[in-house]
Amino acid sequence: MTDSPRTWWKTGVGLVLTALMLFPLYWMVNVSLTRRSAIRSGDLYPRAFTLDNYRLVLQDQLPYLGTSLVVGLGTVLLTLLVSAPAGYALSSLFVPGRRALNFCLIVAQMIPAVVMALGFYTVYTDLGVLDTLPGLVVADSTVAIPFGVMLFSAFMAGIPRELLNAAAVDGANTWVTFTRVVLPISRNSAVTVALFAFLWAWSDFIFASTLNREGGKLRPITMGLYDYIGSQNQEWGALMATAVAASIPTAILLVVAQRYVAAGVTAGAVKD
């Protein structure tokens, strides 16, 4: 039935729509593979083909890519350490002021990053952690932690109480129950949280451009890209090749972890 001519017609329309949607990305790759002299002629495919732009990326951008990796992993670690226990507490333990805390988490996700950056800038200047990687990790994790807590607690609330009670009967205290029973079951949620924490930290522009401006080579890849944008005659080939390099984690995640991505997007936004 599904192979009727009618649905194949829909596949055709779907292909056209997807191509339209993804055209900017094709254009980015196209420009990144085009020789400098031919970039302004705007060929629909890289007729003046070159890999020079990517050679330049390998030469110049590796420190930035490495920094982004470190910042991303640091953000993942901090996010998981704070949000997993909190998610457990909010879903299964008695917490005074739970409603107020939940409200704070919702509002926290709505606060503009530029407002946070302004506050952090003063605080970091006082503490002397401006332009440091730990400072950037903390700032980046403010995006991921409220999300992580809510995702964890939504999932952990679904763990059968009998399971937790059985552990308690066996003499396990809360900590043992958490590490031996709750965490292993919540593995998928942890992957989703880690994935988004990494992706957001990797993509961050606002915090990197405010709290880590003078970090030299110890700045993330978004800043490596931003350096190109500021210059008078923009090198579009190298710029686009760097943009492609900055997109690598997205590509990997889409191929390897697509179902976790989908889980994160819809998490709770729709009533279950």
Partner 1 sequence: MSRNSAATPTLERRATRAAAADRVADAAGDRPRRRRRRWAGVAFVAPLVVYLVVFYAYPLVENVSMSLHRFTRATYITGEAPYVGTEIYREVLTAPAFVPTVQQTAVFVVGSLVFQYVIGLGLAVFFHRHFPLSIVLRGLFLVPWLLPIIVSATTWQWMMDADSGILNRFLGLFGLDPVWWLGADNSLWAVTIANIWLGIPFNLVILYSGLQNIPADLYEAAALDGAGAWRRFVSITLPLLRPVSAITLLLGFVYTLKVVDIIWITTTGTGTSQTLATWAYGMAFGKGTSAVIRYSEASVVGTILLVLALVMGVVYLVVQRRDQEA
Residues between 171 and 190 with contacts to partner 1, criterion CB under 8 A = 173-175, 178
Closest to 245 (Cα-Cα) out of 68, 38, 77, 42: 68
Q: Is 116 a binder of partner 1 (CB under 8 A)?
A: yes
Is 250 near partner 1 (CB under 8 A)?
yes
Minimum distance of partner 1 from residue 55's CB (angstroms): 20
Instruction: Specify whether the CB–CB gap between 207 and 112 falls below 8 A.
Output: no
- Residue in 120, 130, 112, 109 with CA at minimum distance from that of residue 267: 109
159 forms part of the interface with partner 1 (CB under 8 A): no
Q: Which tokens belong to 56? A: 């330049």
137 binding partner 1? (CB under 8 A): no
Separation between Cα atoms, residue 202 and residue 260, nearest integer Å = 17
210 in contact with partner 1 (CB under 8 A): yes
| Distance in angstroms (rounded) separating the CA atoms of residues 66 and 218 | 9
The contact mask relative to partner 1 for 2-31 (x = CB under 8 A, - = no) is xx---xx-xx-xxx-xx--xx-xx-xx--x
| Residue 140 phi, psi dihedral angles, 5° rounding | -65, -35
Is residue 200 part of the contact set for partner 1 (CB under 8 A)?
yes
How many CB atoms sit inside 10 A of residue 181's CB? 18
Query: Using CB under 8 A, which residues numbered 51 to 90 contact partner 1?
Result: 81-83, 85-86, 88-90
SS3 49: strand
Smallest separation (angstroms) from partner 1 to the CB of 244: 8
Of 169, 229, 231, 233, the residue at the interface with partner 1 (CB under 8 A) is 229
Q: Which stretch binds partner 1 (CB under 8 A): 51-59, 69-77, 92-100?
A: 92-100
Binding segment for partner 1 (CB under 8 A), chosen from 45-53, 57-65, 69-77, 202-210, is 202-210
User: How far is the C-alpha of 67 from the C-alpha of 64, rounded, in Å?
Assistant: 5
Choosing from 48, 51, 58, 106, the residue that interacts with partner 1 (CB under 8 A) is 106
DSSP string, 72-90: HHHHHHHHHHHHHHHHHHH
Shortest reach from residue 49's CB to partner 1, in Å: 18
**Cα separation, 230 vs 216, whole angstroms:** 16
Q: Which two tokens stand for residue 94?
A: 């008695």
Residue placing its CB nearer to partner 1 in the complex, 11 or 59:
11
Residue 33 CB, shortest distance to partner 1, in Å, is 14
Q: State the DSSP code for 235.
A: -
Regarding 50 and contact with partner 1 (CB under 8 A), the answer is no
